[in-house]
Chains A and B, each alone.
Chain A
Amino acid sequence: MSFSGADWWPLFAHFLAMSMLAIGGALAVAPDVHRYIVDERGWIDDTQFNAAVALAQSAPGPNLLFVPVVGYAVAGVAGALVALVGMLIPSTAFALLAARWGSRRRDQRGVRAFVAGMAPITIGLLLSTGGLLAMPLARIPGAWLLIVATLVLCLRTQMRPVWMIAGGALAGAFGLV
């Protein structure tokens, strides 16, 4: 199932929806982007999806940038822009309106209940994202080693993520993964 001219609107519409569901960071929507773009539409495969997230994490800038990289893998530069603009429009419009309306209301019970209710869901979504990235690598022992080493370094040291990514790239280039 390759991408065709009739697929521009579904691509754009998917990211419009993701924009409003991205509570707790852009990476929280990665499982749903994967479900739609890889599983349902088959526009790109697991390897390309994983590469998109890994590239976005290795480059400077917000994690949100995995969205245009997925769009690029689907349909080139135009795909990147369609995905990014879709991901930005609804939440940006909403944020600008709400910033003026609600910043003084953040102590109200409704807002506090929303923050509290969403917190465990965000963590569940992030764990899903990590699992999703690990799954295609599940049969490679070296990949498990890298995942566990990254976890230990993150939880036990102050090492900057960029060095871990560089280490992973080196390990992979030398055939460990």
Chain B
Amino acid sequence: MSDGPAGAPRSPGELMRVFSALALQGFGGVLPVAQRELVERHRWLTREQFLEALSFGQVLPGPNIVNLSLIVGDRFFGWRGAFAALLGLLGLPLLIVLTLAALYGQFASVPIVAGALRGMAAVAAGLILAMALKLVPTLAWNPLGRALSAAALLSTLATVGVLRWPMAYAVVGIGGAAFVAAWWRLGRKS
């Protein structure tokens, strides 16, 4: 291909270092950093290849960014690359977050610490709600149509968020019904 990416990692070790560096820059989400580093800075992937890996990673079960790192690592060095990328992505951030958790455990009863954590939890709730609200407009283009999309969204919120049913029921039941509806609508259009 003439419009392929300009660069490639030289070794699984380099893959691990780059994923480590991008994970450490990712506060509240690693994906935007991943695009900047992998596409614009190191040029291991073209923008289209990145989008392709990302959308495929989203279809698969498991966290998107983990799937993306596995797919990118696998592309260059097979399963060795996949594990190097995964280790880079999770290794140092895991050490940092467990250190924080251990410190929190030591000082959880100190009022200032407990207060700070409550403040952070409130912001975390806001961040997650905002992430969800920003995704709502994308449903306008969903093959399901607005009414069915809204029905699937609200019934998931009601069963999992309010009634606290096990999520498997919602994902399999509501997700299954939404899949069948989308399948039917996609077929009717073409």
Q: Which residues of A contact B (CB under 8 A)?
A: 17, 19-27, 29, 31-32, 35, 39, 50-65, 68-69, 72-73, 77, 80, 84, 88, 90-92, 94-96, 98-100, 102-103, 106, 109-134, 136-137, 140, 142-144, 146-151, 154-155, 160-162, 164-165, 167-177
**Residues from chain A with Cβ under 8 Å of B71 in the complex:** 95, 99, 103
B58 touching A24 by the CB < 8 A rule?
Answer: yes
The residue from B23, B25, B118 contacting A172, defined by CB atoms under 8 A apart: B118
A62 touching B26 by the CB < 8 A rule?
Answer: yes
4 tightest A-B CB contacts, nearest first: A172-B119, A91-B62, A61-B93, A150-B126
Interface size class of B (residues with CB under 8 A): 35 or more
**Residues from chain A with Cβ under 8 Å of B160 in the complex:** 31-32, 124-125, 128
- Interface flag for B6 (CB, 8 Å): no
B29 touching A96 by the CB < 8 A rule?
Answer: no
B128 touching A27 by the CB < 8 A rule?
Answer: yes
Q: Are A106 and B55 also in contact (CB < 8 A) when A124-B157, A150-B122, A175-B115 are?
A: yes
A120 touching B149 by the CB < 8 A rule?
Answer: yes
Complex CA–CA separation, A130 to B82 (angstroms) = 32
Q: Are A106 and B23 also in contact (CB < 8 A) when A68-B98, A92-B62 are?
A: no
B164 touching A39 by the CB < 8 A rule?
Answer: yes
> Nearest residue in B to A156 (C-beta to C-beta)?
B130
**Residues from chain A with Cβ under 8 Å of B174 in the complex:** 121
A165 touching B59 by the CB < 8 A rule?
Answer: no
A125 touching B127 by the CB < 8 A rule?
Answer: no
The residue from A19, A35, A164 contacting B127, defined by CB atoms under 8 A apart: A164
27 A-B pairs within 8 Å (CB atoms) are namely: A25-B63, A26-B63, A27-B128, A32-B168, A35-B166, A55-B101, A57-B28, A61-B89, A62-B66, A91-B62, A92-B86, A96-B79, A109-B190, A113-B179, A114-B182, A115-B58, A116-B144, A117-B180, A117-B183, A121-B153, A121-B175, A125-B160, A131-B157, A146-B123, A151-B129, A165-B27, A165-B120
B100 touching A32 by the CB < 8 A rule?
Answer: no
B125 touching A69 by the CB < 8 A rule?
Answer: no
**Residues from chain A with Cβ under 8 Å of B26 in the complex:** 60-62
**Residues from chain A with Cβ under 8 Å of B57 in the complex:** 95
The residue from B28, B29, B86, B142 contacting A120, defined by CB atoms under 8 A apart: B142
B171 touching A23 by the CB < 8 A rule?
Answer: yes
Q: Which residues of B contact A (CB under 8 A)?
A: 23-30, 52-53, 55-67, 70-71, 74, 79, 82, 86, 89-90, 92-94, 96-98, 100-102, 104-105, 108, 111-113, 115-136, 138-139, 142-144, 149-150, 152-157, 160-161, 164, 166-168, 170-171, 174-183, 186-187, 190
B contacts with A: majority SS: helix
**Residues from chain B with Cβ under 8 Å of A122 in the complex:** 135
The residue from B24, B56, B124, B130 contacting A103, defined by CB atoms under 8 A apart: B56
A55 touching B100 by the CB < 8 A rule?
Answer: yes
Complex CA–CA separation, A89 to B97 (angstroms) = 21
Task: Point out which of A20, A51, A69, A90 has the most chain B C-beta atoms below 10 A from its C-beta.
Answer: A51
